[in-house]
Amino acid sequence: MIPQDIVNKILDTAQIVDVVSDFVSLKKRGSNYLACCPFHNEKTPSFSVSAAKGIYKCFGCGKSGTAVGFVMEHEHMSYTEALKYLAKKYNIEVIEKEETAEEIAKRQRYESLLLVSEFGGKFFQDSLQTPEGQTIAYQYFRSRGLQDETIRKYGLGWAPVSRKALSEAARAAGCKEEFLIETGLSVKYDDGRLVDRFYDRVMFPIHSVSGRVIAFGGRTLKTDKSVAKYINSPETEIYVKSRSLYGIYFAKSEIARKDRCILVEGYLDVLSMHQLGMTNVVASSGTSLTVEQIRMIHKFTDNITIIYDGDGAGIKAALRGIDMVLKEGMNVKVVLLPDGQDPDDFARKHTLEEVQDHIARNECDFIAFKTDLLLNEAGSDPLKRAGLINDIADTISVIPDAVVRAMYVRSTAEKFNIDEGLLLDRIGKSRTAMIEADLKQRERERTGAEVVPEYVEGPGAVEVVVPQDEPVPEVKYDGPVKIEDKSMAPCEKDLLKFILEEGCTTLDFDRDSKYYVEGSSINVAEFIDGILAEDDAEFVNSSYRKTYEEYFRYYEEGLSQEQIQSRLLNSMDPEIAAVAKDLLIEKHQLTVSNYEKSMTAVSTKLVIYVPKTIMTYQCRKLDGMIAVLTAELADTEDLERQLEVLSKIDEINRMRAVLNNELGRV
CA atoms of 368 and 374, how far apart (whole Å): 10
Q: Above 80 in pLDDT, residue 513?
A: no
Pairing of strands 261-264, 506-507: unpaired
CA atoms of 448 and 436, how far apart (whole Å): 16
Q: Report the DSSP beta bridge partners of residue 522.
A: 507
CA atoms of 263 and 246, how far apart (whole Å): 10
Q: Which amino acid is at 389?
A: I
Which residue in 211, 114, 219, 222 sits closest to 154, CA to CA? Answer: 211
Q: Phi-psi category of 298—alpha, beta or left, where left has phi over 0 and alpha has psi -120 to 50?
A: alpha
Characterize 263-277 residue by residue with b for buried, 16 or more Cβ atoms within 10 angstroms of its Cβ, and e for exposed.
Answer: bbbbbbbbbbbbbbe
| Of 591 and 520, more confident | 520
pLDDT average, residue stretch 300-318: 73
pLDDT average, residue stretch 139-160: 96
> Of all residues in the chain, what percent carry a pLDDT higher than 70?
85
Where in 498-651 does DSSP place strands (E)?
Answer: 506-507, 522-523
CA atoms of 582 and 570, how far apart (whole Å): 13
For residue 48, give Cα distances in angstroms to 27, 29, 31, 41, 56: 10, 9, 10, 15, 6
For residue 124, give Cα distances in angstroms to 136, 174, 202, 275, 511: 13, 17, 9, 21, 82
Q: Above 70 in pLDDT, residue 452?
A: no
Residue 264 CA to chain centroid, in angstroms? 21
CA atoms of 326 and 369, how far apart (whole Å): 14
Q: Phi-psi category of 124—alpha, beta or left, where left has phi over 0 and alpha has psi -120 to 50?
A: alpha
Q: Above 80 in pLDDT, residue 665?
A: no
Q: Tell me the average pLDDT of the chain.
A: 82
pLDDT digits (tens, 9 = 90+) for 15-69: 888 899 888 888 888 778 888 888 888 778 889 888 877 889 888 888 888 899 8
Mind listing the domains of the chain with CATH numbers? Answer: 4-89 (3.90.580.10), 102-239 (3.90.980.10), 250-411 (3.40.1360.10), 485-665 (1.10.860)
- What's the pTM value of the predicted model, to 2 decimals? 0.59
CA atoms of 194 and 180, how far apart (whole Å): 9
pLDDT digits (tens, 9 = 90+) for 382-415: 888 888 888 888 888 888 888 888 888 888 888 8
Q: Above 60 in pLDDT, residue 591?
A: no
Which residue in 328, 323, 238 sits closest to 292, CA to CA? Answer: 328
In sequence order, what are the residues at sequence separation of 6 or more whose Cβ sits closer than 8 angstroms to the Cβ of residue 235? 241
pLDDT digits (tens, 9 = 90+) for 57-108: 888 888 888 899 899 888 888 888 889 899 988 888 887 767 678 877 888 8
Helices marked H in 33-173 — which ranges? 67-75, 79-89, 101-128, 131-133, 139-143, 148-153, 165-172
- pLDDT of 448 reads 53
CA atoms of 156 and 205, how far apart (whole Å): 7
Sign of CA dihedral 585, 586, 587, 589: negative
Q: Phi-psi category of 188—alpha, beta or left, where left has phi over 0 and alpha has psi -120 to 50?
A: beta
CB 559 within 8 A of CB 567: yes
Most confident of the following: 268-277, 308-317, 374-383, 479-488: 268-277
CB 478 within 8 A of CB 461: no
pLDDT digits (tens, 9 = 90+) for 540-580: 888 999 999 999 888 888 888 888 998 898 888 888 988 99
Across 151-165, 446-460, 539-553, 637-651, least confident range: 446-460
CB 48 within 8 A of CB 26: no
Residue 302: φ, ψ to 5°: -95, -5
For residue 630, give Cα distances in angstroms to 63, 363, 646: 44, 52, 8
- pLDDT of 466 reads 30
CA atoms of 326 and 578, how far apart (whole Å): 24
Helices and strands (DSSP H and E) totals, the chain: 27, 20
CA atoms of 291 and 327, how far apart (whole Å): 9
CA atoms of 248 and 253, how far apart (whole Å): 9
CB 267 within 8 A of CB 285: yes
Q: Which amino acid is at 647?
A: S
pLDDT digits (tens, 9 = 90+) for 338-376: 876 889 999 999 999 999 999 999 888 877 787 777 776
pLDDT average, residue stretch 311-322: 64
